[in-house]
Amino acid sequence: YHTIRLHASISGCNNAWYEINGERFQIPEDGHWYFIDTGKYHSVWNEGPEHRITLNVNLQIGPHDPKELLI
């Protein structure tokens, strides 16, 4: 894969969990962007009654100029 995925939690993260290669963690609702390596085995689940809202942005290296990032 040739992409980078960034996540920002908007709401409902208290019971939402991420897991990558067996490491379980949460993304806080703090207005920051977090990198998640989705090239590794990963999963996401919500253990609470409220919906989780997360903004995801995938960035990819452009085919003509390796310094160009495409959204």
Find the Cα–Cα–Cα–Cα dihedral 62, 21, 13, 8, rounded to 10°: -20
Query: pLDDT by residue (tens digit) across 14-44?
Result: 889 999 999 999 999 998 999 988 888 889 9
Percent residues over pLDDT 90 in the chain: 39
Are 9 and 27 spatial neighbours (Cβ–Cβ below 8 Å)?
yes
Model-wide pTM > 0.75: no
The CA–CA distances, whole Å, from 2 to 15, 28, 38 equal: 30, 26, 10
Are 37 and 28 spatial neighbours (Cβ–Cβ below 8 Å)?
no
Which residues face 7 on adjacent strands?
34, 56
